[in-house]
Every structure is written in structure tokens, then in C-alpha cells.
Amino acid sequence: MKSPRSIAIAGIAAVAMVGALSACSQGAADDGKLELRVATFPPGADQAAYDAFAEQEQQFEELHPDIDIVGLEYEWTAPTFAAQLAGGSLPDVFTVPFTDSKTLLENDQLKDVTDELEELGYADKFNPIIISEVTDADGRIYGFPRQAYANGLHYNRDLFEQAGLDPDQPPATWDEVREAAKTIAEKTGKAGYATMATGNTGGWQLSVQADSRGAQLQEDNGDGTYTSTIDNDATKATLEFLHDLRWEDNSMGANFDLDWGSINQEFAAGNIGMYTSGSDVYTALVRDFGMEPAQYGLTVIPTEDGGGVLGGGDIAVMPPTLDDETKAAAVEWIDWYYMQKLLDEDAAVADAKALAASDQAVGTPVLPVLDRETYDQQQEWIAPYVNVPQDQMTGFIDGIFDQTPVGEFKGQTQPIYALMDNLVQAVLTEQNADIDALLGQIDVDAQALLDE
């Protein structure tokens, strides 16, 4: 058992230009065991997270005495993933977002695990929308979907109370979100609502809101090509919504260059009343950003005009350069560490007990990667160990299965998100931004990327 090392993992805006991967460093440890390098947590995670991992690591090594697990600190950031990938510095097991998995598998930069999944016996239990994210045109599978989320509306219960709002009755429409944001800003001096705007996250969250209003941001032509359709009524309504909160209501504070990390930090510090992000962010808010659990609230994102909720998640994968022995060990680890706690009662209970014993979150709402029956059964198994305030998340827990899941558009996802960042920044920093002109231009720019 080794102490975690540090590695940075990033997005793949330029990954298509990267050639074949360099060989990953693999081989036997000094004691003759196979050394398996696996991703753990982002740098800065609290000690309790590492304590929980160390216990799980020890359990695995007792079951597999010929494998020596080496944990590597792991963080996904946008600019440098292609270089990490080409340089062969990735772990033997790491995770990638759904948005990037298609590009990676199309460029032969992930290991095929179809046969292994069939042998494990649960390939047919995956949510079909989710498994499609890592399946190629020939039906081959290149990873294990390990967790998924639907975007939700996160809100600070303390700020709601300070503003005279009922935290047990969160907004259910976008108009109600606007009214609540205005009230919070007026009564508390804090940002009533905020949104991510940089590092591709602005485009991501613009997609979330546009999808909730019924947008289709990209048309799949069915022949491997795509047509950009960002310029539509739902996207326009979303940009007008953000513009009006910023300029008419003055309810969005003064920070308009937030990304995933900084918006979580500001929210955890009590400076933001509401924002949208993945439903699974509670763990990071409490573990990594120090939020008090009693302050946290979660409900579903409002939908209208046939809109749905944008989901995502990540997939446990391997670089294609692994030799057969290391691949077999990697599959053993992925199955044991990520999958069995979703499928097996003893594994689910052991995982929940280990997390709870080290003060890690158990019971954070997610979008199930497996079918509803399997998910409900797993929730029953871990119920005695749930330590998150699910009574403060009932709006999401009760409502998510009634919403229509929407996947992220597939063509040039991250580069187009980067373009969409500019739309968000424009309406938040330019009072007279010409939204129609901005939308007309972005379809031209996005289509140019799609036609490359």
C-alpha cells in the first residue's frame, strides 16, 4: 500500500490531434507484486477521504495479495489532458467525464472492456442512456460507468431564511428562481443566483438551462456529422434570463468569472443563494469546501416547454497501452472498488460503513448508472448508514425520476462549451449585449468546429 501521489488530469479540447499514447509505466513492485496505479481524489481533499480510501485499499489487497495498489491524486481540468495522455503519465485506472469518452474511444485512446463486462455478468444492467456514452458504433464498450448525476438547483437554506423565504419550499419555476434571487440579494446583500462562466463550465451550465426550456443544441445527422442549433428560442430565453437577473434585478453579485471550483467555494462560504450544477456536488461542498450540511438544500431544476434535465457523470477507464496482466488487475479493481457496491449487498454495506466511519458522505442523490430496480435495492441496503441530510434534498429525490434525462451533445462538446462561455460572459458583463447577434455568430463558429 502506497501513499497517494499527485497528478493532474484535464479536458480534451485538443485531444483529436494527439497521436498514439506513450506506454504507461507499469510493472512489478519491489516485492514482486503487480503495481496498479489508480486515481483517488483531487489535491486538497481532506484526510478523512484518504483514510476511507486506505481502508478500502487494504481490503482489496487482502483479497488480491498479488496486486499492490498505488493511489494517485487525480483532478480533471480542461487545458492539459491531451499532453498527459500523450505523455503516458495517466494512472492505469482513471476516470473521464461522459462528454469526453466518445472522443477518446473514437481516437482509440481507451481500452476495450466488452469481453470483461460480459464475463462479469452485468453488462445488461446499465442504464441504456448511460452505457451508450462509452459504446462505439460496433457495440464495443470502453469503460465502466461508475457514477452519474442529473443537474440540480442547489440553494443555501440559511440565506433563504435570512431573506424570509421557506427553505422547505424551493423555487419550482424559473420565474420563481428569479423572484427568490431578487429577494435574497435585497435582504442579505449576497448574490441571489450565480452561474459558472469560464473554463467550458459556462457553456455547460448554459446547456443545462437551455435544455430545461426545451432546447436542442445540436442535431445528429446520423452519418457521423452534426449540425449546430444553439441559436434557438430556449437558448435565447436563458440568456435573457441571466441578463435580467444581472442588469435589471442586480441579484447576481459581482463575480462573473466563476468555474466549477470557485462557484462551489463561494456557495460553501455562504455568498451565493442558488446555482445549478451536478446533483452529486454535495460531497465536494462538505468534504473539500467546508460547507455546513445544515445550510445545504437541493431540488430539481425547473423544466418547461417539454424540457429535460441535463445529466452527466464519469466512467472508469484504462489507457489502451496496458498489457494483459495489468488490464486484468485493473478490471478487478474497477469491479471491486466502483461496481460491486452498486450490485452486491455485502459490498454496498461495507462501502457505506467505511465511508460513514470516516465521516464521508453516504446517500448523496445521484442519477443511477444501473436500472431502477437495482438502484432501489442498493438504497435499501445502505439506508442505516446514510449520513447526508436527505430531508433537505427531497425536492430532488422525489422529483428526479419524473424528469426527462437529456444527454450532452456529442459533436465537439468541450470546444463548443468554450464558445458558449463567451455568450454567458457577454450577457453578464455587457448591459447592451446583442443576444440575437451573439446567437447567430455562435452557430457559425460551432459549425466550423463540427466541420473540421
Task: Kindly give, in sequence order, each residue whose CB lies less than 8 Å from that of residue 224, ignoring residues fewer than 6 positions away.
Answer: none
- pLDDT digits 0-9 by tens, 127-172: 887 888 899 989 999 999 998 889 999 999 999 999 999 999 999 9
Place of cell 469560464: 198
DSSP state of 192: S
Tell me which residue of 412, 104, 13, 66 sits closest to 90, measured CA to CA: 104
pLDDT of residue 29: 57
- Domain 150-311+391-450 fold is D-Maltodextrin-Binding Protein; domain 2 (3.40.190)
Q: Along the 452 residues of the chain, how does pLDDT read in single tens digits? A: 444 444 444 443 333 333 333 334 455 556 789 999 999 887 777 888 888 889 889 999 999 999 999 999 887 664 566 777 778 888 999 998 887 787 788 888 899 999 999 999 999 999 887 888 899 989 999 999 998 889 999 999 999 999 999 999 999 999 999 999 999 999 999 999 999 999 999 999 999 999 999 999 999 887 889 999 999 999 999 999 999 999 999 999 999 999 999 999 999 999 999 999 999 899 899 989 999 999 999 999 999 999 999 988 889 999 998 999 999 999 999 999 999 999 999 999 998 998 898 888 899 988 888 988 898 899 999 999 999 999 999 999 989 878 888 888 888 999 999 999 999 999 999 999 999 999 999 999 999 999 99
Fold match between domain 2-148+312-388 and domain 150-311+391-450 = yes
Tell me the whole-structure pTM to 2 decimals.
0.72
The DSSP secondary structure of 402-435, one letter per residue, reads: GSPEEPPP-TTHHHHHHHHHHHHHHHHH-TT--H
Place of cell 462528454: 99
**Distance between CA atoms of residues 260 and 202, nearest Å:** 9
Give residue 279's Cα distance to chain centre.
Answer: 9
In contact, 293 and 286? CB cutoff 8 Å: yes
**Distance between CA atoms of residues 61 and 239, nearest Å:** 52
In contact, 297 and 154? CB cutoff 8 Å: yes
**Distance between CA atoms of residues 25 and 321, nearest Å:** 10
State the burial class of residue 445 (Cβ atoms within 10 Å of its Cβ: 0-12, 13-18, 19+): middle
- pLDDT digits 0-9 by tens, 387-420: 999 999 999 998 987 888 888 888 899 999 999 9
Rounded (to 5) percent helix, strand, coil in the chain: 45, 15, 35
310 phi and psi angles, rounded to 5 deg: -75, 130
- Domain 2-148+312-388 fold is D-Maltodextrin-Binding Protein; domain 2 (3.40.190)
Tell me which residue of 365, 215, 367, 239 sits closest to 303, measured CA to CA: 215
What are the extents of the domains in the chain?
A: 2-148+312-388, 150-311+391-450
